[in-house]
Structure 1
Amino acid sequence: MAPPPFKRRRGAPKSSTGGLITTMIALLVGAGFVFLLAIVLLASRLGEVEEGGSTTTTTTTIMEVPGDTTTIMEVPGDLGSKMIGRGDGDGNGDRGGKLRPPSRLSFPHLPPHLMAEEMYGDGIISDLLDGTDPTIAGLVATMQRFLSKLRLFLVASRDAPTPEIVIRGYFDLVDEYLKPLESTYRNKRVFPMREDDSIFMSLGAYRDHLLGETLRQAYGNAHDPDLLFVGAVVQNCFGIETTCRTGVEVKGMDANGNPITKVSDRPPDVNGIEEFCTDPNFSRHCVDGRIRVLYVNETESNGPTTARYLASRLWGGETHYMQSDSHLRFAPDWDRKYKEELRLAKSYPKAVLSTYPTGFKDGDPPYMGGTMSPRLCTCEFSEGGGRHKMLRINTGHDCKGEQDVPTQIAYIAAGFFFVRSEFLVDVPFDPYLPWVFMGEEIALSLRAWTHGWDVYAPRKDWIAHQYRPGKLGLPKFWENTARVFGGRGGFDNELQRVAIERIKHMVGYEGSDMDSLEKLGCDFLLKDLEHYGPGKVRTVRAFLEHTKIDMKTEKCGWIDWCNDCTLP
């Protein structure tokens, strides 16, 4: 279903109805316009431009824009079809060459930074926010509005004296631009949920050179690729008003054996979406509307929690929800196997599959799956700079022997979980967690369990993950944060120190209670926590007992049922 047509601009003249002569003139003018339009469309099909002896096809894209005008855009090759994003977003796209605005469940994935509101008017936002006609285009437009204002805010906050000032200002932006969306769809879905066994894969990709290959692997090895839909938040350095930089690269060792590091200028990042969508083996998935993308400039990126929130808002009614990182390999039939495994869980449909997947390195042979899936059964209160004693999840014992069904584990990994999409209503992603890295997983685990969802380890892995030690020199979002705030060393840690008080309060840390936060002037960090905090099916105290976490001594105990694989 396409967004509704634009209303006539206020003050625009109405068509005349008086007089035979006026009517005849109007008919002649109308006929002439139709004739000219037909010529333009015919030229768009047949037009070819000679360039250096080669022939390049051009596509004329006719787009309706606000103000009762028609904009005709000529773009080379098949880019016109990419911009229009033909297809219903249900995998049954019209590839017969019919050009039209995005359907209800799709928005152009290329080129980057197409502004939805400029293309289709602010009506797509108002129709979304009043609940009358939600579309992916409206969701993208809403998030683009937020990101545009965030960019201006970050420029103005470059020299902000305290992290509290920055985060309070960020919360104000969320209140103005994202909270109306959250309020409209509180405790309900944006789109009807389809029972067609489809999968929505949420990808928060930060300057990831493996994004394109991850998509090729996912679709190339899927049993039902036409039932796989992707919502990608591509956080790249596009070279727009900024010089792209590498991560901290190790260039050698000094005389004392210490690493010599360097950060260098580099070209703009590769766009993995473009790599995938221009691959003739996979481009049909883009044409048919299975790839939904929100592009974010690196300078506006503030960590995985925000990226995962934004990606969750690209969900279009698919049956299953899968959150993963964007540097993966996939085994054959991975999608069918995870769906079958989920249904075997005793708590299904309120069951979550999660693990830290098997690792792979560049040069490894194709991943065929079937390796033992690590079980998330231990935790620790982390020490060291920037960690602030935040609970950190880790693996425990593997099960002995073969199991007939998956068994429960204690925690959810943010880098991979697989669940039915009702999860999004029960445990909506939190828009008030900027600049957070540590703490994402304990918050997700606690919220899911207290809302009545049980967590299971799949018995076997069917995806593999590239784990990335610092020596690889890949860019990290906190390096960008330091640059955004004037190169102040440690300011990224200060932002996280303040932001994670929201999670610490939820879990029950001493010194993070309401009274303590009020004394610090940080009680604003608990905004709307009743919607993004623990559930009411089970208590936080029960979760801490379930996972053997002692908040007084700040110790994690041994979880017998998890490490022994005995809780179905």
Structure 2
Amino acid sequence: MALPEVPKGAGVGVGRHLGENLNLAKDEWSVENIDEAQIPAIADTLRRHVPKSPSGANGAIQVPDHKWPASVRYENNFETIVHPGDGHTTMSVPKFWSPPIHNGVLMTRETAMKVGSCNEPDKVTGSIVRGDDCPPDERTIYFAIASYRDFQCRYTVESAFLRAKNPKRIRIGVVDQIVNGEDPACDEPIEPCDQNPNQALCLYKDRVDVYEMEADLSVGPVFARHIGHRLYRGEYYYTQSDAHVTWTQDWDADIIQQMEDTRNEMAVLTTYLTDVQGSIDENGHSLRNTRPIMCNTDYEGGGNQASHLRHGSQPERVPTIHGVSQMQPYWAAGFSFSRGHFVVNVPYDALQPMIFQGEEMSIGIRGFTVGYDMYAPERSVCFHHYAVGNNAKTRNKVPHFWEHARTYKGIGIKAMDRLLGIVHMNPEVDPTSWDHTEEELYGLGSVRTPEKFYETFGIDVVNKKTENHLCRFVDKGGMHRQFTKLLRPDGMGVDYDRITYKFKDPAPNEPR
């Protein structure tokens, strides 16, 4: 299907919003009001009761009711939090649909099947919660976008709906960080609906929830995606991408098929996306037969910013493993597709402002400890608009949240200490020195330990080193062949208790 052409210049077409945006941050913010002495106390202002896993009288996990179609626009289910960057601006945000449901142990398949709406009810019971009995073409998808002043956000929305095989089962939640009057809103149609009613933002406007937030309050992707997780309402699948992505034809059916082919309820399909240029034909079909795989990382930082892992460029080749997505160790924020319970069990941390590098290790390792397994999709279903080639001029005009770095100076250092502490990556640091607020909600599972992850994949958190050439084990299929044999019979993840493998650099004298 033909999509609207992306304009050559950014910031085109600022105008009326369609629908009712969730513009709920109180306008108390100003640069002059920020006092660096407040920074250590910010977490104290955010302390709230941490919700427990919801259990019934017999100890069984109770999952909230599902609704479809779903929207948070007309709910009264909101709570007030304090902005994690300045410590005093209050924000009304949707409550999480559910606290984590793993209950501190490996989630049962029975519990997992209680999460996920179907866009058609069961003909006998009338229930939209049908577990595996819900046909794949009727399973709902929640797509989360965190956008910072990005004129392409609405083009991403258009692409996702118009190229879906079943757009009626898709719901999109956008955290839109913009400057009113300068930036187009993500739910604003590219053309007026009376002139072009076939746009996705006209046809499916009720399936788009936008939490609009003043750009001055942006403290990076982690907090924005945290709010995006709060917009989730029990959909069967969850996906996230950046705000400047183009999807392929029938992407929803394709990625669901790839997910189900893993036969792993705890699978997360995730990767760094390939550039869009030369990747999609005029009919929306992919021109690529290669795929990136996540296996390359190393330490960076030191000094004021604690040493942390940063994923580098990833190998992209024709898959070694055919007919199924391939196991990999790392998670990528730019594209992730999973069952909806991944959002419930591994919510983005509200207390990691001004974090960019480190986000992926936080979610990936926390997910690992809850029992999730990462896979590289065999086929790409969307492509990224990088600031290169023909897109360089346009994309380089889009602002970044770092324009507020001076305003929130010092916040990211403390947030990184918390991030690393939660995932046991800074054992040299006194645990009492970093903030443990709501660690039960934003912390680890108990299915696996972070230490198991580090020893398996050659990460030395004491000396801040990694074993090189991990991609030789991952990209060539060694990890996939060895580890998938240990998938639990009920499909609830790989049993790492049976894994004794510890990666060592096979070529220590060769360059990376």
Q: TM-score, normalised by structure 1?
A: 0.61
1:532 aligns with 2:442: yes
- Cα distance in structure 2, aligned partners of 1:480 and 1:363: 34
Counterpart for residue 117 of structure 1: none
Deviations 1:410-452 (A, max 9, x none): 1110111000101122212221211211100001110111100
Partner in structure 1 of residue 248 of structure 2: 331
Equivalent residue letter for 1:454: D
Partners of 1:402 and 1:475 lie apart in 2 by 39
Provide Cα deviations, 1:387-416, integer angstroms capped at 9, x if missing partner. 642211232464654512222101110111
Aligned counterpart for 1:445 among listed residues 330, 343, 364 = 364
Distance change (3 Å), C-alpha of 1:174 and 1:436: farther
Which of 393, 397, 401 is the matching residue for 1:477? 401
Residue 511 of structure 1: how far off its partner (Å) = 5.9
Give yes or no for the alignment of 1:504 onto 2:407: no
Cα 1:215–1:181 shift into 2, 3 Å: closer
The equivalent of 1:56 in structure 2 is none
Cα distance 1:285–1:342, how it changes in 2: closer, same or farther (>3 A)?
farther
Aligned pair in 2 of structure 1 residues 365, 207: CA closer, same or farther (>3 Å)?
farther
Residue aligning to 1:194:
117
- With over 3 angstroms needed to count, the CA separation of the structure-2 counterparts of 1:287 and 1:400, relative to structure 1, is closer
How far residue 512 of structure 1 moved from its aligned partner, in angstroms, is 5.7
Counterpart code for 2:354: W
> What corresponds to 1:380 in structure 2?
298
Please state if 1:271 is matched with 2:185: yes
Distance 1:327 1:444, change over 3 A: same
* Higher RCO, Cα 8 Å, sep 6+: 2
Structure 1: distance between partners of 2:324 and 2:279: 34
Question: 1:283 deviation in Å?
Answer: 5.0
Instruction: Write the letter of the residue equivalent to 1:321.
Output: Y
**TM alignment of 1:514-533, pairs within 5 A:** 516=430, 518=432, 522-523=433-434, 525-533=435-443
Q: Pick closer, same or farther for the CA change 1:171–1:418 going to 2, 3 Å.
A: farther
> What's the offset of the Cα at 1:183?
8.6
Q: Offset of 1:385 from its aligned partner?
A: 8.6
Over 3 Å counting, the alpha-carbon distance change for 1:173 and 1:503 in structure 2 is closer
Are the counterparts in 2 of residues 299 and 481 from structure 1 also a CA contact under 8 Å?
A: no
- Counterparts of 2:202 and 2:298, CA distance in 1: 42
Cα distance in 2 for residues equivalent to 1:228 and 1:184: 17
How far does residue 187 in structure 1 lie from its aligned partner after superposition?
Answer: 2.7
The Cα of 1:304 is off from its aligned counterpart by 0.3
| Distance in 2 separating the partners of 1:452 and 1:511 | 23
Deviations 1:495-549, CA, capped at 9 Å, x for gaps: 2112111111123344664xx253xxx43x2212122122100011111122221
Q: Is the 8 A contact 1:199 1:321 kept in 2?
A: yes
Rounded Cα–Cα distance in structure 2 between residues aligned with 1:371 and 1:167: 50
Q: Which stretch has the larger CA shift, 269-278 or 229-238?
A: 269-278
Q: Is the contact between residue 406 and residue 456 of structure 1 (CA under 8 Å) also seen in structure 2? A: yes
Contact 1:167 1:499 in 2 (8 A): no
Tell me: CA distance 1:154–1:168, structure 2 relative to 1, closer, same or farther (3 Å): farther
Matched, 1:427 2:346: yes
Question: Which runs of 5 or more structure 2 residues have no equivalent in the other structure?
Answer: 1-15, 49-78, 83-92, 102-110, 119-137, 485-512
User: In the alignment, what sits opposite 1:315?
Assistant: 232
Q: Matched residues in 2 for 1:183 and 1:415: separation?
A: 22
Give, in angstroms, the shift of residue 334 of structure 1.
0.9
Judging by fraction of residues, say which structure has more helix.
1
Contact 1:399 1:564 in 2 (8 A): no
- Shift of the 372–187 alpha-carbon distance from structure 1 to 2, 3 Å rule, reads same
Aligned twin of 1:563: 475
Q: Could you give the per-residue CA deviations for residues 298-329 of structure 1, whole angstroms, max 9, x where no partner exists?
A: 01111100111111111122110001111001
Please say if residues 245 and 382 of structure 2, whose CA atoms lie closer than 8 Å, have aligned partners that are also in contact: yes
**Looking at CA atoms only, which structure, 1 or 2, has the larger radius of gyration?**
1
Q: Are the aligned partners of 2:189 and 2:199 in contact in 1 as well (CA < 8 Å)? A: no
Q: 1:283 to 1:404 in 2, by over 3 A?
A: closer
Instruction: Output one character per residue of 1:177-212: Cα deviation in whole Å (capped at 9) or x when no partner.
Output: 2499769942359x9731341111000010001111
One-letter amino acid of the structure 1 residue matched with residue 474 of structure 2: C
SS of the residue corresponding to residue 498 of structure 1 reads helix
Partner of residue 542, structure 1: 452
- Counterparts of 1:361-380 in structure 2 under 5 Å? 361=277, 366=282, 368-369=285-286, 370-380=288-298
Please show how residues 160-175 of structure 1 align to structure 2 within 5 Å: 160-162=35-37, 165-166=38-39, 168-169=41-42, 172-173=45-46, 175=48
Partner of 1:132: none
Alignment partner, residue 163 of structure 2: 221
Cα deviation, residue 235, structure 1: 0.4
* TM-score normalized with structure 2 length: 0.67
Secondary structure in structure 2 of the residue aligned to 1:389: strand
Which amino acid in structure 2 is aligned with residue 500 of structure 1? Answer: M
Task: Judge conservation of contact 1:309–1:429 (CA < 8 Å) in 2.
Answer: yes
Indicate the residue corresponding to 1:393 in structure 2.
Answer: 311
Q: Which residue of 2 aligns with 1:204?
A: 146
Q: Deviations over 1:351-386 (max 9, x none)?
A: 000011111259986563244220001111124898
Q: Secondary structure at the match of 2:272?
A: coil
The separation in 2 between residues aligned to 1:506 and 1:173, in whole angstroms, is: 17
Distance 1:476 1:377 in 2: 27
Give the AA of the match of 1:152: E
1:462 aligns with 2:381: yes
The CA deviation string for residues 258-279 of structure 1, in whole angstroms up to 9 with x for no partner, is: xxxxxxxxxx112231025845
For 1:289, what is the secondary structure of its paired residue?
helix
Q: Is the contact made by 1:330 and 1:368 (CA closer than 8 Å) also made in structure 2?
A: no
- 1:373, 1:506 → 2: CA distance? 32
Spell out, residue by residue over 1:238-269, the C-alpha distance to the aligned partner (whole angstroms, 9 max, x if none): 15xxxxxxxxxxxxxxxxxxxxxxxxxxxx11
Q: Distance in 1 between matches of 2:294 and 2:419?
A: 20
Q: Which residue of 2 aligns with 1:4?
A: none
Q: Which residue of 2 aligns with 1:152?
A: 28
TM-superposition CA deviations, 1:55-89 (whole Å, max 9, x none): xxxxxxxxxxxxxxxxxxxxxxxx89x54xxxxxx
Q: Secondary structure at the match of 2:292?
A: coil
Equivalents in 1 of 2:185, 2:285: separation in Å?
27
SS in 2 for 1:360: coil
Unaligned runs of 5+ in 1: 1-78, 84-107, 114-143, 240-267, 486-490
C-alpha distance in 2 between matches for 1:321 and 1:379: 25
Residue 296 of structure 1 aligns to a residue in which SS? strand
Mapped pair 1:302 → 2:219: yes
Alignment of 1:291 onto 2:208: yes
The answer (yes or no) to whether the contact 1:285–1:291 under 8 Å persists in 2 is no
Over 3 Å counting, the alpha-carbon distance change for 1:205 and 1:481 in structure 2 is: same
Change (3 A) 1:320 1:167: farther
Q: Give the Cα–Cα distance (whole angstroms) in 2 for the partners of residues 384 and 473 of structure 1.
A: 31
**Cross-structure match for 1:177:** 80
Deviation at 1:461, TM superposition (A): 0.8
Query: CA contact under 8 A between 2:306 and 2:417: conserved in structure 1?
Result: no
Distance in 2 (CA, whole Å) between partners of 1:153 and 1:174 is 20
C-alpha contact (below 8 Å) 1:355/1:413 kept by paired residues: yes
Pair 1:351-2:227 in alignment: no
Query: CA 1:329–1:506 in structure 2 vs 1: closer, same or farther (change >3 Å)?
Result: same
Q: CA deviation at 1:473?
A: 4.1
